Structures are given as C-alpha cells and as structure tokens.
Amino acid sequence: MRFEGKIALITGGASGIGLATAQRLAAEGARVAIGDINEDGARGVAGELDGLACRLDVSDTESVAQAVHAVLSEFGTIDVLVNNAGTDLFSFFVKTDPGLWDFLLGVNLRGVMAVTHAVLPGMQERASGAIVNVASEAGRVGSQGSAVYSAAKAGVIGFTKAIAREAARYRVRVNAVAPGPIETPLLNAAPKVYGELGERLKQGMVNATVMGRCGEPEEVAASIAFLASDDASYVTGQTLNVSGGLSMW
Ligand SMILES: NC(=O)c1ccc[n+]([C@@H]2O[C@H](COP(=O)([O-])OP(=O)(O)OC[C@H]3O[C@@H](n4cnc5c(N)ncnc54)[C@H](O)[C@@H]3O)[C@@H](O)[C@H]2O)c1
C-alpha cells in the first residue's frame, strides 16, 4: 500500500488515464480527489472510490483556486498531484486560428501551471510531495493534426524539469509521463471527427510504436503511480515514455 494515508488530487480524473490513475492510487491506499470539468463524471468516480469530487476547469484560475481550496478543506493536505487533464481538437495547423491555440494551450499547458501554482506552495511548506504531469509523445516527436497540442505538451516537459529544479530543495519531486497512443475517448476523437483520415492518423501512431499496439489507460496509471510513490524517491525532472517504444530518448 504505497499511498496509505496519502491524499492525491487527479485532474481530469473522470475518464481515461485520469480515471485509471485514481483507481490505481485508491487501490494502493490513497484518498483521492477527482477534479474535472465533467462534474457528473467526477462525482461518479469519487463515489466509486470513496473520494471527493470537485468541478475543476484547469484553464480557469478561479476554478483552480476553488477546487484546491475544496480539497484542502476536506482532506487538509495534498501529497500527490497528478496534472492529467488535457484535450485536443484535431485539425491541420493551417486550418486553426488563434482562438483554438489559446484554448489548447490554456488547458494543456497553462492548466498544468495553474494547478501546480496552487498546490506546490503547500507541498514546499511541508517539505514533502510528488507531482506527476501527463505530457505526451506528441511533445517529443510532434503529432500530425495536433501541432498546438504537441507544442503544449513539449512545454509541459520543459516545465516539469524547471519545477523539479526549483522544488528539489523542498523535497518535492516533479516528473512527467509521455504516453503514446492510449485507448481513451481522447485518442478516438480523431477517427470520430475525421472518419477514415482520423483512423489513419491513429493507425500511424500505433505503427510508430515498436510494440505495434495501443496502450491501455491502466498501463499509464502504473507508471504514474511509480513516479508518485517512494519507489521513485531518487527520480525527479524525468519524463518517462509510456508508449510501446514509440520514441526511445
Ligand atoms: N489517449 C492518448 O492517446 C494520450 C496520449 C498522450 C497523452 N495523453 C494525455 O493524457 C491525459 C488524459 O487524457 P485521456 O486520453 O485519458 O483523455 P480523456 O478524454 O479520456 O480524459 C481527459 C479528462 O480531462 C477532462 N478535462 C478536459 N478538459 C478539462 C479542463 N479544462 N479542466 C479539467 N478537466 C478537463 C475531461 O473531462 C476528461 O475527464 C491528457 O493530458 C492527454 O493529453 C493521452
């Protein structure tokens, strides 16, 4: 029970990788708080795991402040933060506009910053804590139809390193995972929006793995749990690819 007595906040915990992470951390003893823009979904997961649900839009700093306040009021502390909330709207870059750039950067990059900004001071004060950011292989190798998303995720990887350096003296570790294609609603949005072209985009990602398959959310959750746990006590500033060998650096 690596998380006995620990409190974990998982953003975007109502679905996919966040849901699997909440289940995994709870199974290992954590009390979980599920923050999600999908409030009903968060409530369902929190009910199942005897946790706390809060409405959270990571792109809105007021919403972030309220959600973090709610978690601290209920549990008193946050030991583990999983910055998992994310979204993409597949579109070739030439067809996008600045409104879309702001939206995608707001959720995928600024959202990670906003929640970290709200949670990290408490961790530093207690000289204890672990943050795991969910980046993407898109941020390492670039993903067709996802230029802004790729840029945001590359930003998350850089942010992870910088915060790891700043927080180390307070005994707070900060790491990231970079998933490849994982069977979730987000991955399957491309085929939904673009039909055959989207299916080809998805198949292209699968073909880029050396394992020749999509990953399951539980496989990412296992790596997040490792990085969040004391098993990774000497690991900080790293980005762990969980991608069937899609990239190897
Ligand atoms: N599925 C993949 O192939 C894949 C690959 C690499 C990285 N990722 C990343 O994994 C993370 C989880 O994605 P997923 O695949 O599980 O997708 P998902 O769509 O199943 O889950 C995303 C969750 O985030 C929530 N969310 C979206 N916008 C939000 C906001 N503004 N504030 C709070 N919550 C918000 C959604 O409601 C949803 O519950 C994301 O950061 C995504 O970029 C996914």
Of 85, 89, 92, give the one whose Cα is nearest residue 107. Answer: 85
Q: What token pair was written down for 57?
A: 């839009």
Residue 244 CB–ligand 1 contact under 6 Å:
no
d(CA 177, CA 136): 7
- One-letter amino acid for residue 82 of the chain: V
- Which residues are designated catalytic? 149
Residue nearest to atom 20 of ligand 1 (CA): 16
Angle at 244 between CA 107 and CA 201, to 5 degrees: 60
d(CA 155, CA 110): 9
Q: What is the pLDDT of residue 195?
A: 84
Domain annotation covers residue 231: yes
Looking at the 3D structure of the chain, how many domains does it have? 1
Domain annotation covers residue 222: yes
Say whether pTM exceeds 0.95.
Answer: yes
Domain with 161 in it: 7-184+216-242
For ligand 1, what atom is nearest to the CA of residue 58? 32
Domain annotation covers residue 125: yes
Give per-residue pLDDT as tens, 64-74. 999 999 999 99
Domain annotation covers residue 124: yes
Residue 129 CB–ligand 1 contact under 6 Å:
no
Asked if 160 and 239 touch (Cβ cutoff 8 Å), the reply is yes
What CATH number did the domain enclosing 33 receive? 3.40.50.720
Domain annotation covers residue 60: yes
How does residue 192 score in pLDDT terms, banded at 50, 70 and 90?
confident
Tell me what the pLDDT averaged over the chain comes to. 97
Q: What is the pLDDT of residue 209?
A: 98
Asked if 112 and 58 touch (Cβ cutoff 8 Å), the reply is yes
Residue 228 CB–ligand 1 contact under 6 Å:
no
How does residue 193 score in pLDDT terms, banded at 50, 70 and 90?
confident
d(CA 169, ligand 1 centre) in Å: 31
d(CA 249, CA 240): 9
Q: What is the mean pLDDT of residues 3-29?
A: 98
Q: What is the pLDDT of residue 155?
A: 99
d(CA 185, ligand 1 centre) in Å: 8
Domain annotation covers residue 32: yes
Domain annotation covers residue 144: yes
| Probe residue for ligand 1, chosen from 84, 141, 186 as the CB with the greatest number of ligand atoms within 8 Å | 186
Q: Is the pLDDT of residue 190 over 90?
A: no
Domain annotation covers residue 13: yes
Q: Is the pLDDT of residue 199 over 90?
A: no
